[in-house]
Structure 1
Amino acid sequence: MNLILLAPDQALSDSHYQLNTRQQEHIAKVLKKAHDDTLRVGLLNGLIGDAVLDLERWQVTLGQLTTQPPKALPMELILALPRPNMLKRTLMNITAMGVKTVHLLHSAKVEKSYWQSPVLTDASIHDYLIEGLEQARDTVLPVVHQYTRFRPFVEDTLPDLLQGRVGLVAHPYQAETCPVDLQEPCVLAIGPEGGWNEFEMEKWSDAGMQSVHLGERILKVETAVPVLLSRLYPAK
């Protein structure tokens, strides 16, 4: 936790906020802060700055919040729903790297049971996103959409997403080398562990998406996601 991220429901006044249990434990056990020490804080979807810790009440008093959160990546990420035990790490990494819109999509090689997992509840996803923001010292909460039908998404939703953006679909076969340091916004689609099937690749192609690969090695989704993001939009 590199940032104490304060939500609106923690506000006691414009400048005073109550810390939640998780924040209290982190401050006490990891940061080991004392009364009246300064903390780095941010307001959810707002600015970043310093606050003074009231250790007796587990509250903070805001100072000047003048720092903007890091810039978002100029992309829309489409992700075939990963296994539930991988989804948490993947969403945290995506959020930490600056993706602000995620579309979780069904695919032929995604088990239907995955969609019944409790990790897909709004509350669980919110917690994963918050952890990613805290890691990256960011405050802007991503938006996560869920689509349980592949074809309607590609035919009805994708065309609007592609307006003014380059469309890329990660695929290890019959694809071009993934571009580096892309200078324009994109829509990036990353498939499941077994990859997109032939029908799905045809639909991506029909929609105007270009197939790209990362070389001869086939990577797991949790590895491919950060590699693709850092390749398309490297830190500067």
Structure 2
Amino acid sequence: MNLILLYTSDFISPHLVRLTDRRFHHMRSVHQAQVGEAFKVGVLDGLVGQGKVSALSDDYIELQVQLDQAPPKPLPLHLIMALPRPKMLKRTLETAATLGVKDLWLINSYRVDKSYWSTPILKADKTREHLLLGLEQAGDTRLPRVHLRKRFKPFVEDELPALARNTRALVAHPYDAAPCPDPEASPTTLAIGPEGGFIAYEVEKLQEAGLESIHLGRRILRVETAVPVLLSRLFPL
């Protein structure tokens, strides 16, 4: 936990917070917090700053906070992903949040098993939990938005063209594709397929929506590996 993420409900006065949950136990057992010690803190969707321990007991910790810094800049990215299998989805949500993704679209694909859509991880509270872990790791406060689209064709035909318009629009595809372009901090739309990649029909539909196929070389990567590799190649992180 590189950032103690705070919520408005934690404040008991304008500059004083009291924590009693997972964050309190982590600070006491892992950081072994002491009165007077300072920690990096940030308010969800707000500023970052410093929190100094002012009180500590067996039940709670209180921090005197000063918030005076902006969080890290988000990536100018629409990230579109075929829904990964549940175990991989957890890690991918955390990784995306850590790397600064703020707009994530989880879509259907021919190779996405129907059972994936019933995973409890897609419930709003569970998705939020993994995104928050990613923010804590990165020292960020801006919560990503996650959009679920269970039908591939309506999304690609009706929504994707508008998302991709006036952006560097790309689909990661290992076959018949151009090399990954050089990093730049420009608005980007990036689609990443499921294990085994998008099928030919899906690639064609994505290209019709304005996306160009790119590859990372001869190696075929898992989704959880492809996400950080692609983002580190496309943006000056």
Give TM-score, length-normalised by structure 1: 0.96
| 1:36 counterpart = 2:41 | no
Cα deviation, 1:68-113, whole Å, max 9, x if unaligned, reads 1111111110010000001111110111000100000000000010
C-alpha distance in 2, partners of 1:187/1:122? Answer: 24
In structure 1, the residue corresponding to 2:111 is in which secondary structure?
coil
Written as runs of structure 1 = structure 2, the 5 A alignment for 1:1-40 is 1-40=1-40
Cα deviation, 1:24-51, whole Å, max 9, x if unaligned, reads 1211121111123222110111111111
Structure 1 stretches of 4+ moved >6 Å: none
C-alpha distance in 1, partners of 2:190/2:206? Answer: 11
* Aligned residue-pair number: 235
Of stretches 39-48 and 57-66 in structure 1, the one that deviates more from structure 2 is: 57-66
Alpha-carbon offset, residue 187 of structure 1: 0.2
RMSD value over aligned CA atoms? 1.2
Written as runs of structure 1 = structure 2, the 5 A alignment for 1:146-185 is 146-185=148-187
Give TM-score, length-normalised by structure 2: 0.96
Aligned counterpart, 1:125: 127
Q: Note if contact 1:95-1:129 (Cα within 8 Å) is conserved in structure 2.
A: yes
Structure 1: which 5+ runs fail to align?
Answer: none
Alpha-carbon offset, residue 146 of structure 1: 0.4
Q: Give the counterpart of 1:109 among 103, 108, 111.
A: 111
Cα deviation, 1:183-221, whole Å, max 9, x if unaligned, reads 421100000001101110110111110000000000000
Aligned counterpart, 1:77: 79
Written as runs of structure 1 = structure 2, the 5 A alignment for 1:131-150 is 131-150=133-152
C-alpha distance in 2, partners of 1:68/1:62? Answer: 19
Aligned counterpart, 2:56: 55
C-alpha distance in 2, partners of 1:115/1:166? Answer: 29
Structure 2: which 5+ runs fail to align?
Answer: none
